[in-house]
Amino acid sequence: MSTFVEAEPLAATSAGKLTLPMTAAEIQEKLGREGEVLLGVLDGTPSLQTFHSGRWELTAQDIETALGEDALRRIEKAVKPRMDSVFGLRQNLINLKKVYLHLQMPGSELQKRINQYTCLFYADGKDWYQHLIAEQEVDSWRKPKEETGAALYQQVSRALQECNGAQMAVLDARQYIKNICCVPRHPNKPTSFELQLLPATLWSAQVFSDLEREWPGIADKDLIEARKAYFQGKRDMARPSECDADRLAKERLDALVDKIVGAVDAHDNKAVRHFVKCSCVARGVSKALRIEVEAERLHESVREMIKRLRGLQDRLLEVTKDSPQAYYKLVRFTCQVDAMIKVLLDLDLWLKRVREEPTRLWFGAADRDASAGLFVPPDFEAVASIHDGLEEILQRWRPQLEARLRDPDNPEYAAYLKGRKACKRCRAQYSKPFVANNGLCYFCELTARDTAAAAAAQLSETALQSGLLMDCTLQLRCVPKGATKAPMPTMCPHSHRCFVCDGWTCELCNAVRLDGDGVAAVVEESDPDVLLFDFDRTFASTRSGADPLVVKNGMSHTLDPHLASLAHGRAPGSVHVVTRNSHKRQIEAFLAERELAHVQVHSLRHFASANDKADMIDSLLTSAQTALFVDDSWQEVLAPRLRDLVFNKLGKVRVVLFDRSQTS
């Protein structure tokens, strides 16, 4: 439902022309209380964060209210296909960004594990490697005999460099698609240096600088110089200025405004033109056009980088391999470059697809792999094949690795194993690669994972389908301060990962960790009947039951722009705030100030349990309704009572663990 004052339909004249408002005051009167603010957005007077955005329908509501239903019908006939295209591209890029986040996660785990192998197996290859340096036996290093220690070390070293190259390209994809999705709404704000200086700012471009240091003259000098300029600008804290892409986006916005005013024969009506442009800026139409421009530039940059990397690949074949050290470095860079090209070719393919067919939903926000709980479509062949190959190497040499870890005093490799980092559980001290970020050593973590896998194997299919979680075998972050055990099951039975300790996400468990635009992607796809938001640190920036109307240090509290945009325009009764924040009246006033008076607020007592919140949700929904519940607290998202409701009673409620740090 629109929050604007409904306008009287404008009558058409006998000549078929519409009677349109001629002054800003007339338009402002029709728009109601928000009109004055809306018409000032081009001057930068109001903050654009106060306007809900991200859908053409929001601009359509403005047009219908100010110009009438007949005007909207003519305008949509002229521009609706174009708007479906740009907003469809935006949605696909948001989902593609999430795909690359979930490609990065297993890649990071593989990097950690392969680093452990290279650390211990260096003891095998070291003596052989040093012997080859002395004897200059380059061919022997290139093709070591299978039974030698050098073969083992060389294999895992190659695997590590291939993984590093793939991860750099995956980071490029994720980071730059994210940058594109976060371009400014206002057309006068320039895009970031990262986008302006593509392709020099890509992670993949670092390999050119590294190679130039080893073999001067081998790399593309222009790319290296542009990269230096980028880092110098960051050090100098320089502000970006308008670039060609910004000007192109402005031209497309002006062309769209021309088409809209032309559809209602208002070319000479300055008030209507100004209103249309203001609405396009405030509601995110101009941002969607900028996303389209930047997606084109990213696609061109990816293709240019592939071309440059292939040229580098050819030049590496001509490098003089006059020593084992030189050959070893050559192998290292060749493996990285090969992997980068494979991953960037995948990115090139997907950018081509989403640009050619933007209205097609290429990546569902709920596409997940059952074994991993990650949503990666099967067509991402390059990264999948690299990961599969690395996993095969790790499994092949796992017995040798564990044998060495069980004999830490062996002088042959003790120097690479022993260190000062103590395991939180067994207190044994290891070097950094053998103690995970969660504080557990290799064996304690392995034992915990194996225990979880054994427990999961005992679960019936019925138990899995009922949403049953397992007790966490790690017992780290999921254990509250002062307690000795997690208060509830928190481990995914599909992946043997803890939703809290590992920051895991699993669609099959109906416990997905997302940020604001991730939630928007789910709503876009599933269109639930009811939205249920927690307030503190989810819908709003308040913490620990704070009054949202209180201004602290000159800073007012804000709403999450993505969740606010979802709530805007929905019918009364379809959006609820369910919170333990006791300031119910203040929350209602805070929402009313932001044109969200239709959102219903349900305040529980401050010390209410997670099960009490689940009971409140139960009372708000019927068994026929579909709903999305978003909360930043894992205790409430994973509460047994809520999970019982979701899986066994209501059955149509999706649950999201809201994570502002989950930037993808």
Give pLDDT, residue 514: 84
Of the pLDDT bands very low, low, confident and very high (cuts 50, 70, 90), residue 2 is very low
Q: What is the pLDDT of residue 154?
A: 75
Q: Is the pLDDT of residue 31 over 90?
A: no
What pLDDT was estimated at residue 15? 43
Phi, psi of 548 (to 5 degrees): -70, -15
Q: Which residue has the higher pLDDT, 647 or 407?
A: 647
Residue 268's pLDDT band (boundaries 50, 70, 90)? confident
Q: Strands 627-631 and 530-533, how do they pair?
A: parallel
Domain spanning 510-550+557-658 has what CATH number?
Answer: 3.40.50.1000
Q: Is 634 exposed, middle or buried (0-12, 13-18, 19+ CB in 10 A)?
A: buried
**Beta carbons of 281 and 256 less than 8 angstroms apart:** no
What separation in angstroms does the CA of 376 have from each of 130, 290, 333, 499, 593? 43, 27, 28, 19, 40
Residue limits of CATH 3.40.50.1000 in the chain: 510-550+557-658
pLDDT at 148 over 90: no
Spatial CB neighbours of 260, under 8 Å, sequence gap ≥ 6: 63, 75, 78, 79, 276
- Pick the residue with more confidence: 15 or 417? 417
pLDDT, tens digit, for every residue of 367-416?
433 333 345 566 777 888 888 888 888 888 888 778 777 776 666 666 66
| Reported confidence tier of residue 295, pLDDT bands at 50, 70, 90 | very high
pLDDT digits (tens, 9 = 90+) for 423-434: 988 888 888 888
Q: Which amino acid is at 606?
A: H
Mean pLDDT of 262-278: 90
Q: Would you state the pLDDT for residue 503?
A: 85
DSSP conformational letter for 197? T
Sheet holding 512-514, edge to edge: 512-514, 653-658, 627-631, 530-533, 575-579, 600-603
Max mean pLDDT among 151-165, 620-634, 650-664 falls in 620-634
pLDDT in tens, 513-529: 888 877 887 887 778 88
Amino acid 6: pLDDT: 38
Q: Is the pLDDT of residue 198 over 60?
A: yes
Indicate if the pLDDT at residue 649 is higher than 80: no
For the ranges 50-64, 212-226, 399-413, 602-616, the lowest mean pLDDT is seen at 399-413
List the beta strands (DSSP E) in 30-133: none
User: In the predicted model, what is the mean pLDDT of residues 48-70?
Assistant: 86
Highest mean pLDDT: which range of 131-140, 192-201, 565-574: 192-201
How high is the mean pLDDT of the chain?
A: 83
pLDDT over threshold 60, residue 663: no
Position 125 scores a pLDDT of: 53
Average pLDDT over residues 73-81: 94
Helix/strand/coil for 473 = coil
**542 to each of 4, 318, 472, 516, how far by Cα in Å?**
27, 60, 30, 16
Q: Residue 540 above 70 pLDDT?
A: yes
What's the whole-number mean pLDDT along residues 321-337? 80
What pLDDT score was predicted for residue 146? 52
Higher per-residue confidence, 431 vs 600: 600
**Average pLDDT, integer, range 258-282:** 91
Tell how strand 421-422 and strand 429-430 pair up. antiparallel
Q: Is the pLDDT of residue 149 over 70?
A: no
pLDDT of residue 157: 82
- So what's the pLDDT on residue 311? 94
Question: CA-CA distance, 637 to 630, in Å (whole number)?
Answer: 8
What is the mean predicted confidence (pLDDT) over 288-305? 96
Give the residue from 413, 407, 408 showing the smallest Cα distance to 430: 408
Choose between 315 and 8: higher pLDDT: 315
Residue that the structure tokens 């919170």 belong to: 579
CA dist 156 and 436 (Å) reads 19
Half-sphere exposure in the Cβ direction for 39 (13 Å, CA): 22
pLDDT level of residue 74 (50, 70, 90 thresholds): very high
Distance of alpha carbon 151 from alpha carbon 4, whole angstroms:
72
Using an 8 Å Cβ cutoff, are 38 and 62 in contact? yes
- Share above pLDDT 90 across residues of the chain, in percent, rounded to a whole number: 34
Q: Which of 59-73, 162-176, 314-328 has the lowest mean pLDDT?
A: 314-328
**pLDDT confidence of residue 153:** 75
Q: Is 90 exceeded by the pLDDT of residue 294?
A: yes
Amino acid 5: pLDDT: 36
